[in-house]
Amino acid sequence: MKMKKFLFGFLAVISMVTLAACGSSNDSTSDSTDSWKTIEENKKVVIGLDDTFVPMGFKDDDGKIVGFDVDLAKAVFDEYGITAEFQPIEWSMKENELQNGTIDLIWNGYTVTDSRKKKVSFSQPYLTNEQVLVTKKSSNITSDADMKDKVLGAQEGSSGYEGFTREPEKLMDIVKDNDATLYAGFNEAFIDLKNDRIDGLLIDRVYADYFLKQDGTMDDYNIFNAGFNEEDFAVGARKGDKELVDKINEGFDKIQKDGKFAEITQKWFGEELSMPEK
């Protein structure tokens, strides 16, 4: 009997140690283990994106994922002989997807913010952006002050909506219901703006400029600064992925020097741009 009790107790202890070890391993993977060696060995990196965010990453008429960030990521990982694969994700769940290991990186017009710095490690910035308000010219809304008691739209989980809630004195305090109508993607938001279901749309300038030019309706809309500071786009990685982030930064330096970055900006924005200074 004593032997049975001993064996039962011993097995229980072993089980608890094993479970604890498994839990420790999962935590280590998400918080401290660098992914670079695995990515280098597998010759593949999985990048999460919102596949409706033109011109950064979106599906073309043939259903192929294309865009500025797509070309940029390919150029960086080509330097290491690594294939970049692109995984569409729910943008509001992007950090969860990263921590769960579904994706290796968030790379899709991902704005650097203080709150996001607590969750991810950022690469160096590669592009500057600003949040703008888009309104129909027929509405006569030409400034943020004109949005008083008007219906505002924004993307859920976007840096624009984050700024909207972080600095309520800019817009939140004046718009109708002191909040915004939230959308999973900007395409749906533009449809509602066009059909007067919202009065203004808080959005990234790069998206607004590209979308309206491609849509041929630029002359029908006002685009003006929403009152927030300029932003930086960067790549988001897990906190432990220091070497992976270093490799991305090294890749940025290489494609900046050899002119590939300028070629990609010319292709998508119609002008040669340089990365922001470090």
User: Tokens for 270?
Assistant: 């119609």
Closest CA to 53 of 201, 181, 186: 186
Residue at token pair 């509001």? 92
User: By the 8 A CB rule, do 207 and 231 touch?
Assistant: no
**Mean pLDDT, range 46-53, rounded to an integer:** 96
Residue 270, pLDDT score: 87
Q: Looking at residue 32, what is its pLDDT?
A: 58
Domain 131-229 -> CATH class:
alpha beta
Task: Check if the beta carbon of residue 96 is closer than 8 Å to that of residue 39.
Answer: no
Terminal C-alpha separation, the chain? 70
Q: What is the pLDDT of residues 186-208, one digit of tens each?
A: 989 999 999 999 999 999 999 99
Query: Is the pLDDT at 275 greater than 90, yes or no?
Result: yes
Domains 36-128+232-269 and 131-229 fall in the same CATH topology: yes
pLDDT > 70 in the chain, percent? 88
Q: What is the pLDDT of residue 271?
A: 87
Q: What is the DSSP letter of 25?
A: H
Angle 68-78/260-269 helices, nearest 10 degrees?
A: 170
pTM reported for the whole predicted model: 0.79
- Compute the distance between CA of residue 76 and CA of residue 69 in angstroms, rounded to an integer: 10
Beta-bridge partner residues of 131: 204
Q: How far apart are CA 164 and CA 180, in angstroms?
A: 9
The ranges assigned to domains in the chain are 36-128+232-269, 131-229
Q: Does domain 36-128+232-269 have CATH number 3.40.50.10680?
A: no
